[in-house]
Amino acid sequence: MRFAVGDLQGQLEPLDRLLDAAGFQPGRDELWLTGDLVNRGKDNAAVLRRIRALGKSAVTVLGNHDFYLLAVASGAMRRGADDTLDDILDAPDRAALIDWLRFQPLMHVDETFAMVHAGLLPGWSVAQARLLAHEVEGALQGPHWQVFLQNLWGSQPLAWNDALEGWDRLRVIVNAMCRMRLCSATGEMALKYKGPIDAAPAGILPWFAVPGRRSASHTVVCGHWSALGYYNADGVLALDTGCVWGGCLTGVWLETGERVQVACEQAAAPSGWE
């Protein structure tokens, strides 16, 4: 059985309660995590250690906050004033935790489900998106991964083009899969908007609502958009229910659709690279 869970953001205690409530059993079951394992909460290092210790019983994809940690740890980016990463950056096993994280996938595909942190551009099929994710994974797991992270940040280009090359190509892939919530009907990303669907600016749509979206062959499991909350429609299972903001942590058994939730105490105020 596969149990998919939304963004943890450094919150270990709610994860423990959720897995207990769900009856999750490592070895029998597989834990799917939608990314953003770290930042804003207080137990970042403990979260990474716990997920790493699960071995093949856990599958996680990378989120924007995970990329932020990798960039800070590698020296590619200055720290923000409001992150909570000291426990990782000062940990005796810091190098092992960082190496484990950078070898996690950007996208995971299994049968009729595809998991990614934020979303997929409407022109991408699941098969194409998986190949594009492999390109990013190769850069992040290769010997020059710090150089890749130095060239990752930014919001341009806003749209995909098969002719894109180099850093621009990798940046679009990461921004779509880790930052995007909405885009235009032609696939131009609107990366600044973080609010609810009903207050979105005219002319942009949730990425999953674009007519003719090519990834509709699979149910896309994602997180990232806490203002959207739990959403199970249109071939999308969105699971970020604002655990770090005082909402709840949500998990769903993929085989049955059963939802399990636990309440969370607020651990952070909204800010930063979301």
Residue 229: its pLDDT value, please?
96
> What are φ and ψ of residue 193, in 5° steps?
-85, 130
Q: CA-based angle 62:66:71, to the nearest 5?
A: 120
- Hey, how many other C-beta atoms are within 10 angstroms of the C-beta on 154? 10
Domain boundaries, the chain: 2-263
Instruction: Return the structure tokens found at 237.
Output: 């299972």
What pLDDT sits at residue 268? Answer: 75
On the question of pLDDT at 274 being above 70, the answer is no
User: Contact, 123 vs 229, CB < 8 A?
Assistant: no
**Is 271's pLDDT higher than 60?**
no
pLDDT for 273 equals 36
Tell me if 76 sits within 8 A of 146, measured CB to CB. yes
- Burial (CB < 10 A; 0-12, 13-18, 19+), residue 205, is middle
d(CA 135, CA 109): 15
CATH number of 2-263: 3.60.21.10
Residue 272: what pLDDT? 39
Which of the four pLDDT bands, split at 50, 70 and 90, describes residue 270? low
Arithmetic mean of pLDDT, 157-182: 98
Question: How many Cβ atoms from other residues are within 10 Å of residue 190's Cβ?
Answer: 17
pLDDT band at 44 (very low <50, low <70, confident <90, very high): very high
Please write the tens of the pLDDT for every residue from 107-149. 999 989 999 999 999 999 999 999 999 999 999 999 999 999 9
Which tens digit of pLDDT belongs to each residue from 235-246?
999 999 999 999
Average pLDDT, the chain: 95
Q: What is the C-alpha separation between 224 and 181, in angstroms, rounded?
A: 8
Angle of CA points 243, 149, 55, to nearest 5°:
55
Question: Is 114:108 a contact under the CB 8 Å cutoff?
Answer: yes
Q: Which residues contact 126 (CB under 8 A, 6 or more apart)?
A: 109, 114, 120, 214, 215, 217, 218
Please compute the mean of the pLDDT values over residues 87-92 and round it to a whole number.
Answer: 98
Question: By the 8 A CB rule, do 222 and 237 touch?
Answer: yes
pLDDT above 80 for 269: no
- pLDDT for 266 beyond 90: no
pLDDT score recorded for residue 80: 86
**3-state SS class at 38:** coil
Per-residue pLDDT tens digits for 185-232: 999 999 999 999 999 999 999 999 999 999 999 999 999 999 999 999
Please report, for residues 1, 184, 212, 241, the alpha-carbon distance to residue 207 in angstroms, rounded to integers and kept in the order given. Answer: 28, 8, 11, 18
For the beta sheet containing 107-110, the strands, ordered from the edge strand earlier in sequence to the opposite edge, are 107-110, 113-116, 219-222, 236-238, 231-233
pLDDT band at 81 (very low <50, low <70, confident <90, very high): confident
Q: Please check whether residue 38 is in contact with residue 46, taking contact to mean a CB–CB distance below 8 angstroms.
A: no
Return the sign of the alpha-carbon dihedral for residues 222, 226, 230, 235: negative
pLDDT of residue 45: 98
